[in-house]
Amino acid sequence: MPSEFDIIRQYFTLPVIGSVRTDVELGIGDDAAILSVPEGHHLVQSVDTLILGVHFPAETSAEDIAYKALAVNLSDMAAMGAEPAWFALAITLPDDNEKWLKAFSKSLSMLAKQYNVQLIGGDTTNGPLSISITINGFVQKNKALRRNSAQATDKIYVSGTIGDAALALAAWQEQCLLRDESVPYLQQRLNRPQARVELGLVLREYASSCIDISDGLIADLGHIIDSSDVGARITFDDIPLSNEFKLNLTDEALIIPLVLAGGDDYELCFTIPVAKQIAFEKIIKENNILVSCIGEIESQQGIRCIKADKEIELHESGYQHFTHS
Residue 53 binding a second copy, by CB under 8 A = yes
Residue with Cβ nearer a second copy (144 or 294): 144
Q: Could you tell me the smallest distance in angstroms from the CB atom of residue 115 to a second copy?
A: 15
CA distance 240 to 232: 17
CA distance 117 to 70: 10
CA distance 145 to 213: 15
Residues 130-169 that bind a second copy (CB under 8 A): 130, 132, 134-137, 139, 144, 146-148
Residue 72 to residues 28, 63, 67, 180: CA-CA distances in angstroms? Answer: 22, 14, 9, 27
**Stretch 200-239: interaction string toward a second copy, x if CB under 8 A:** ----------xxx--------------x------------
Among 116, 125, 173, 301, binds a second copy (CB under 8 A): 125
Choose one: 117-125, 249-257, 276-284, 289-297; the region binding a second copy (CB under 8 A): 117-125
Task: Label each residue of 245-285 as H, E or C.
Answer: HHHHCCCHHHHHHHHHHCCCCCCEEEEECHHHHHHHHHHHH
Size of the site for a second copy (CB under 8 A): 58
Residues 80-99 that bind a second copy (CB under 8 A): 80, 82, 86, 88-90, 92
Residue 25 binding a second copy, by CB under 8 A = yes
Residue 194 binding a second copy, by CB under 8 A = no
Using DSSP's 3-state secondary structure scheme, residue 319 falls into coil
How, if at all, do strands 302-307 and 83-93 pair? unpaired
How, if at all, do strands 302-307 and 231-235 pair? parallel
DSSP assignments along 196-207, one per residue: -HHHHHHHTTT-
Q: Which residues bind a second copy (CB under 8 A)?
A: 25-26, 29-37, 39, 42-49, 51-55, 76-77, 79-80, 82, 86, 88-90, 92, 120-123, 125-128, 130, 132, 134-137, 139, 144, 146-148, 210-212, 227
